[in-house]
Amino acid sequence: MPNLIAVDWGTSSLRGARLDGEGRVLEEKSAPLGILNVPNGDFAGVFASLFSEWMKPAGSVCLISGMAGSRQGWAEAPYVACPAGPEDLKRHLHWIEPGRIALMPGLSIEQGEVPDVMRGEEVQIFGAMRLAGLTDGLFVLPGTHSKWATVQGGRVTGFRTYMTGEFYGVLGRHSILARTLDAEAPLDEAMFGRGVTRAGEGKGLLHDAFGVRALALFDRLSPAQSASYLSGLLIGEELRTQELTAGREVIVIGAPALTERYALALDRSGVRVRRFGAEATWAGMRAVLA
Amino acid sequence: MPNLIAVDWGTSSLRGARLDGEGRVLEEKSAPLGILNVPNGDFAGVFASLFSEWMKPAGSVCLISGMAGSRQGWAEAPYVACPAGPEDLKRHLHWIEPGRIALMPGLSIEQGEVPDVMRGEEVQIFGAMRLAGLTDGLFVLPGTHSKWATVQGGRVTGFRTYMTGEFYGVLGRHSILARTLDAEAPLDEAMFGRGVTRAGEGKGLLHDAFGVRALALFDRLSPAQSASYLSGLLIGEELRTQELTAGREVIVIGAPALTERYALALDRSGVRVRRFGAEATWAGMRAVLA
C-alpha cells in the first residue's frame, strides 16, 4: 500500500493526516482554510503550502474528501448515485494530478421527486464500517446537515439529510427564541431529554418550537435550559421519523459533543449506539484506496 | 351601545377603527407605532396623538388588543385561561382609564407540560364567529406565529401556535436556503402545491427543508420557485398535524396574501374554507363590549 495523505477539506476548515501502509495515523494537521477561505481561489497553492512535504516520498497518494470536490471547490467531482461503496468512489475519483492527488466524489440519491446529496460523510461511513467490522447497518452523522444512511452489503443504499444543526443555529440566533436562549450554555441533560420526549409526541416542530418561547414567557425555562430543550426538540424530531426499534444498533460518527447528544437521545428508545470520531475519516480514505 | 374605538396595537404597527353603535366602521387609521417603536415608552402620548379626536364624544370607549397588553406594552393585561369567550375577556379587561380605555387580555392554555398563548387573535376569532354566525368551529389565523383554535359553545376551548411565518423568514434569510431563494417572489401555485404534498408525506421538516437546497443544486428549482416550494412545505407541515377531514369547514382569518395560501393548501384536502380579514377584529371588539 502506498503512503496515503488523507485530507478532509470542508467549507470553513480542512484537516489532513499522513497514514502509513497499514492505515495508522503518523501525523495530523488542520487549518482554517476551508473552500470559502482559499485566497484567490488558489487551491493548488494552499495544498502545496500545507502538504508538499508530506507528498515528497515516491508513490505518495493524496485523497481529498468534502466540499473541495464541489462546484465551489478546487474542481467538481460529480456525485455518484447510490447504491455505492468504496470501489464506486475509487472508480469515480477526480484526479487533479493523475496517480497523485484526487478529489473524492460525493453521493447522490433520488427519493420521490426530491434528490439528496452528501459530500465527505460517505468516507466517514466507509471508515466506520471498516472499524466496526460491519457491511450492513444504520449510520448517523450529526452536524449542521445531519445524515442518516443505510448500508447493505458494504454499499450505501439510502440516506437522508436533516438540517438539524442549522435549524438550531438560525432559531437560536435569528428567531424570537433568541431573546430568551443561551446557545452557548452547556448541556442540561434533563431539559434535553424533555425536548426529545416532547418531539416524539408528534405535534410538529413548528408548534413545539413555539413552546420554547411560551415556557420562557412563564419563567419555566431559563436561557440555558431553553438551549438544551430546543436541542432535544430538534434531535428528537430527527429521530421521530426514523425506523428505530429497541435493541437495534446505530453507528454515530462525529465530534464527541454532538455524538453524545445523539447517544443520549437514542438510548431513550433502547437503541444500542457505537460512536466513532475523526478516525473514521482516515479509515474511510484507506478503504477507498484499497 | 356606546361609540367604540377599536385599536389593534401590535409589535411593529397599530391599526384603529371608529365604530358606530351597530359596529359599522366609520373611519380607520394605522401607524408604524408598534410597541417596539413607541418613543420613550410614552404609550399615553401616542394614544392621545392618534385617537384623542375620536374619543371626544361623551361615552366613547376604546378597547385595545394585541401586544400593547403584554409585559413589554402599555400595561400588562394578564392572560385569561381557556376555555374563554367574549364575556370572559370583558370581565378581565385591564382599564387604563376606568370606563374609557381598556387593554384586552390574551388567552393562555396548558397542553401537556407546555403552555401556549395568544394576544390579539382571540378578538379576531370572536369577530369571525359573529360574522359567520357560528358558535362552534375550527379557526386558523396565519402569520408569523399561526394559531389554530377550536371553538365550542362560543368559547375558545383549545389552540396551538405554529412558528410557520417566522420559520419562513429565518430560513429564507439566514440559512443555506437563502443562497438560492427569492423570498419576495410572487406565489407559484404549482410549486407551492408540490411543497404541501411533500410535507404531507411526513418525512419531517428538517429533511424536507434540505430538499429545497438539493433541488436547487440540481437546477430543478429556480430562486422564485424555491420560495413557493418552501412556503408549501411549511404550511403543509402545519396542516399535517391537524385533524382535517374532507368536507370539514375551517375559518381562515388574516391578510388576503396569506389566507389565499391556506385556502389553496386546505382545498387540496377537500376542506371547505371561509375567509375573513380586518373586519373580524372590529367585529370581535364589538362582541366583547356587548
pLDDT, tens digit, 9 for 90 and up, residues B125-157: 999 999 999 999 999 999 999 999 999 999 999
Of the pLDDT bands very low, low, confident and very high (cuts 50, 70, 90), residue B21 is confident
* Cross-strand bridge partners of residue B62: B5, B101
| Inter-residue contact A100 to A65 (CB < 8 Å) | no
B220: chain A residues, CB-CB within 8 Å: 115
In sequence order, what are the beta bridge partners of B141? B147
Return the CATH number at B228.
3.30.420.310
Question: Which of A176, A204, A215 has the CB atom closest to B241's CB atom?
Answer: A204
pLDDT of amino acid B64: 98
Q: Are residues B134 and B277 in the same domain?
A: yes
Q: Which residue of B has its CA nearest to A200?
A: B204
| Identity of the residue numbered A118 | M
Say whether both A46 and A148 belong to one domain. Answer: no
User: Residue B45: is its pLDDT beyond 80?
Assistant: yes
- Over chain A (290 residues), the average pLDDT of each successive run of 10 is 90 93 90 94 97 95 96 96 97 97 98 94 97 96 96 98 97 96 95 97 97 97 98 98 91 96 95 94 92
Say yes or no: B165 and B290 in one domain: yes
Question: Is the domain of B102 the same as that of B164?
Answer: no
Any domain includes A89? yes
Contact assignment for A115 to B217 by CB distance below 8 Å: yes
Who among B161, B204, B217 is closest to A207 (CB)?
B161
Q: A161–B214: do the CB atoms touch at under 8 Å? A: yes
- Nearest-by-Cβ selection for B210 from A112, A113, A162: A162
Which helix (H) or strand (E) covers residue A96, if one does? strand A94-97
Q: Three cell numbers at B174?
A: 439566514
**Which residue, A109, A144, A159, sits at the end of a domain?**
A109
> Do residues B165 and A165 lie in contact, with contact meaning Cβ atoms separated by under 8 Å?
no
Cβ pair A160:B207 closer than 8 A? yes
- The pLDDT of residue B81 is above 80: yes
Note whether A98 and A158 are same-domain residues: no
- Residues of chain B positioned with their CB less than 8 A from the CB of A113: 194, 198
Q: Looking at the complex, report in whole angstroms how far the Cα of residue A215 sits from the nearest Cα belonging to chain B.
A: 6
Which residue among A163, A176, A218 places its CB closest to the CB of B115?
A: A218
The percentage of chain B sitting over the pLDDT mark of 90, rounded to a whole number, equals: 92
Alpha helices in chain A (DSSP H): 43-51, 86-91, 121-132, 164-174, 189-200, 205-217, 223-240, 256-267, 279-289
Among A67, A88, A109, residue at a domain's last position: A109
What average pLDDT does range B116-132 have in this prediction? 97
> Looking up cell 382599564, which residue turns up?
B95
Chain B residues closer than 8 Å to A208 by CB: 114
Residue B23 lies in domain: 1-113
Q: What is the CATH number of the domain that holds B9?
A: 3.30.420.300
Q: Residues near A163 by Cβ (< 8 Å), separated by ≥ 6?
A: A144, A145, A146, B175, B176, B206, B207, B209, B210
**Hey, are the CB atoms on A210 and B162 less than 8 Å from each other?**
yes
First to last CA, chain A: 8
Looking at residue B193, its pLDDT comes to: 98
Is B115's CB within 8 Å of A215's CB?
yes
d(CA A201, CA B119): 26
Evaluate whether residue A115 is within a structural domain: no
Would you call A161 and B207 a contact, using CB atoms and an 8 Å cutoff? Answer: yes
Please say whether the beta carbons of B215 and B287 come within 8 A.
no
Whether A127 and A287 have beta carbons less than 8 Å apart is answered as yes
Q: What is the pLDDT of residue A241?
A: 93
Q: What is the ipTM of this complex?
A: 0.95
pLDDT of res. B275: 97
Q: Which of B88, B113, B138 is the last residue of a domain?
A: B113
What's the Rg (C-alpha) of chain B?
A: 20
Q: What does the DSSP 8-state code read for residue A138?
A: E
> Residues of chain B with pLDDT > 70: what percent?
100
DSSP reduced 3-state for B269: coil
Nearest CA among A144, A128, A178 for reference residue A10: A144
**Is A33 within the bounds of a domain?**
yes
- Same domain for A250 and A179, yes or no, is yes
A237 with B207: Cβ contact below 8 A: no
> Which residues of A lie inside 8 Å of B (Cβ-Cβ)?
112-117, 145-146, 160-164, 166-167, 170-171, 173-176, 194, 198, 201-211, 214-215, 217-218, 220, 234, 237-238, 240-241
Of A227, A52, A282, A11, nearest to B176 (Cα)? A11
Q: What is the pLDDT of residue B290?
A: 81
- Average of per-residue pLDDT values in chain B: 95
Of A206, A217, A238, the CB nearest to B167: A206
Q: Taking CB atoms and an 8 Å limit, are B163 and A175 in contact across chains?
A: yes
Cβ distance of B198 and A112 shorter than 8 Å: yes
A197: three-class secondary structure by DSSP: helix
Closest CA to B166 of A167, A285, A157, A286: A167
Instruction: Read off the amino acid at residue B9.
Output: W
Q: What angle do CA B112, B165, B32 make, to 5 degrees?
A: 115
CB A89 within 8 A of CB A80: yes
**Conformation bin of residue A273: beta by default, left when phi > 0, alpha when psi is -120 to 50:** beta
3-state helix, strand, coil split of chain B in percent (to 5) is: 40, 25, 35
Contact A206 B163 (CB under 8 A): yes
Strands B146-152 vs A272-276: parallel, antiparallel or unpaired:
unpaired
Q: pLDDT per residue over B277-286, tens digit each?
A: 989 999 999 9
- Tell me how close the Cα of B214 comes to any Cα of chain A, in angstroms: 6
Cis amide leading into B83 (omega within 30):
yes
Contact A217 B171 (CB under 8 A): no
In this predicted structure, the answer to whether residue B30 has a pLDDT above a threshold of 90 is yes
**Cβ-defined contact of A207 to B241 (cutoff 8 Å):** yes
What pLDDT band is residue B191 in, cutting at 50, 70 and 90?
very high
Residues A128, A236 within the same domain: yes
HSE-up (13 A, CA, CB side) for residue B163: 24
User: So what's the pLDDT on residue B103?
Assistant: 98
Clarify whether residues B161 and B126 are in a common domain. Answer: yes
Q: Quick check: B39 pLDDT over 90?
A: yes
Q: B98 and B200 in one domain?
A: no
- Going by C-beta distance under 8 Å and a sequence separation of 6 or more, which residues neighbour residue A133? none
* Residue of chain B nearest A115, judged by CA positions: B214
Closest Cα in chain B, distance from residue A195 (Å):
11
CA distances from A273 to A90, A132, A138, A154 (A): 29, 12, 10, 19
Q: Report residue B114: phi and psi, to 5°.
A: -120, 125
For residues B170 and B28, membership in a common domain is answered with no
Checking if the pLDDT of B23 tops 90, the result is no
- Residue count of chain A: 290
Task: Report if residue A60 sits inside a domain.
Answer: yes
Cβ contacts of A12-19, under 8 Å, gap ≥ 24: A12/A36, A12/A37, A14/A50, A14/A66, A14/A68, A15/A278, A15/A281, A16/A50, A16/A51, A16/A54, A17/A281, A17/A282, A18/A54, A19/A282, A19/A285, A19/A286
* Structural domains of chain A, count: 2
Q: Which residues of A touch B201 (CB under 8 A)?
A: 112
Mean pLDDT to the nearest integer, B255-262: 96
Please judge whether B206 and A205 are an interchain contact, meaning their C-beta atoms are less than 8 angstroms apart: yes
Say whether both B240 and B104 belong to one domain.
no
A114 in a domain, yes or no? no
Q: A91 and A167: one domain? A: no
pLDDT in tens, B192-245: 999 999 999 999 999 999 999 999 999 999 999 999 999 999 999 999 999 888
- What local confidence, expressed as pLDDT, does residue B94 receive? 98
